[in-house]
Amino acid sequence: MRRLPDVYYLKLIFKNVFRAKLRSSLTIIGLIIAIVAFGLLQTVVDAWFAGSNAASASRLVTRNAISLVFPMPIYYRERMRTVNGVKSVTLLNWFGGVYKEPKNFFPQFAVDHENFFDLYPEFVMPADQLIAFKRDRQGAAVGRKLANEFGWKIGDTIPIRGTIFSGTWTFTLRAIFDAKDDTTITRQMYFHWDYVNEWLKQKYPRRMEQIGTFVIEVDDPSRTADIAKAIDAEFRNSLAETLTETEKSFQLGFISQMEQIILTIRIVSFVVIFIIMAVVANTMAMTARERSTEYATLKALGFGPGFVAALIFGEALMLSLIGGVLGILLTFPLAKGVGIIAAAVFAVFNVSQSTVLMQLACALVVGVVAALVPGWRSARVKIVDGLRHVG
């Protein structure tokens, strides 16, 4: 049994990788760009799903069965509370205001200040701030990311120009909440639904005591389907029939509207990988052609065709891994930059572990596929033909 070539073999591969320095460098740069582009595009897709990924399994969302734009009577809450398995119910209503300019977009919600944060333990804030928020009818609670973005401090006045609820609304910042983990979004604003309802009572009495969504906490997450059915059954044949679903499904409902865009981004990210695969395959084909005499010499000396193929595979893999690892390392600072620029679009823009693993897998696949044809050809070439290549 022959001893397997070890360090010597690795050294030979490493030296071969950097033999044609310019060509190898350009190929590695191409790989870096492709892996970074793939990572950023995947992160864009992840960012779209960030909200649904952070959704709780123990929360349901109820909306008007016809459409989200139609409200439901506030008294539904009392009947929901009687449904078996419902632990508590809170209110959530999209506000859709503008802070100074439209480009400063961030989500605002009117909520039931009494229990909203009880249902969202992922938002962490000091107890005194929560009390201050609850006590002040015009009080607002904002996420840390949003507060940092606009430099807001506790006690600041925040004017919001309403688009659905006309006029300029003034809120006082009473609480700043942090995220319990990386998946939680902290780029939104909450304030009292009572404050909005009071305004409706004066301006548009027919729209008062109406709410966009109910958020329901269940006592057993494994029974969410049954509880959702029971809630909707409660309001069947009423003026505003309901549609109750898990918070995740509710979030995914928004994303599904952008399904084609997400699909396109996914396709583009893989096209980028396919292109670099062709580039690396071309590099390896040129390399193998230039070295046909060396491979023939190795075979003449007694090395088998498998050894020659392994040399080519090893070189392609090392090339793609160098580019892949550098690309992955570069993705993190670039994603941070993109996250800052696109903060108004993506509340969370973090490179996930699965994206890194996919980048690494892509680099490996590029290396293996690029070496397939040249490796197979070089392994099969006859020694005399390879040696004849000289002069």
Partner 1 sequence: MPPLLVEIKHLVKSYTRGDQKVPVLHDISLEINRGDFIALMGPSGSGKSTLLNLIAGIDKPDGGILTVDGEDITQLSEGELADWRASNIGFIFQFYNLMPVLTAFENVELPLQLTNLSRAERRQRVEMTLSLVGLADRMEHYPNELSGGQQQRVAIARAIVTDPTILVCDEPTGDLDKQSASDVLGMLKRLNEEMGKTIIMVTHDAHAAEAARRIVHLEKGELINDAATA
Q: Smallest gap, in angstroms, from Cβ of residue 296 to partner 1?
A: 8
Give me the sign of the Cα torsion angle 261, 263, 266, 268: negative
Decide: is 20 part of the binding site for partner 1 (CB under 8 A): no
Q: Which is nearer to partner 1, 9 or 332 (CB)?
A: 9
CA distance 380 to 384: 12
- DSSP H or E run through 173: strand 167-179
For residues 249-288, which are near partner 1 according to CB under 8 A?
Answer: none
**H-type helices in the chain, by residue range?**
7-17, 21-48, 50-53, 76-81, 116-119, 127-135, 144-150, 193-203, 224-234, 247-256, 259-290, 292-301, 305-341, 353-380, 383-388
Binding part of the chain for partner 1, among 1-9, 145-153, 173-181, 322-330 by CB under 8 A, reads: 1-9
Q: Of 3 and 153, which CB lies nearer to partner 1 in the complex structure? A: 3
- Residue 318 vs 335, nearer CB to partner 1: 318
Residue count, binding to partner 1 (CB under 8 A): 28
How far apart CA 346 and CA 49 sit, in angstroms, is 10
Please report, for residues 45, 280, 316, the alpha-carbon distance to residue 366 in angstroms, rounded to integers and kept in the order given: 22, 7, 8
16 versus 43: smaller Cβ distance to partner 1: 16
15 lies in the binding site for partner 1 (CB under 8 A): yes
Q: Which two tokens stand for residue 229?
A: 């059915």
Minimum CB distance to partner 1 smaller for 87 or for 389: 389
Decide: 216 and 59 in contact? Cβ < 8 Å: yes
Which listed residue (9, 94, 152, 195) binds partner 1 by CB under 8 A?
Answer: 9
Cα 37 to Cα 29: distance, rounded to the nearest angstrom = 12
Binding test (CB under 8 A) with partner 1, winner from 12, 98, 262, 369: 12
Q: Which of 8, 67, 82, 181 binds partner 1 (CB under 8 A)?
A: 8
- Residue 16 touching partner 1 (CB under 8 A): yes
From residue 288 to residue 307, the character string flagging contacts with partner 1 as x (rule: CB under 8 A) and all else as - is -----xx--xxxxxxxxx--
Tell the smallest beta-carbon distance from residue 24 to partner 1 (Å).
Answer: 12
Helix axes 353-380, 259-290, angle to 10 degrees: 30
The residues of the shown chain that bind partner 1, judged by CB under 8 A, are 1-3, 5, 8-9, 11-12, 15-16, 19, 293-294, 297-305, 382-384, 387, 390-391
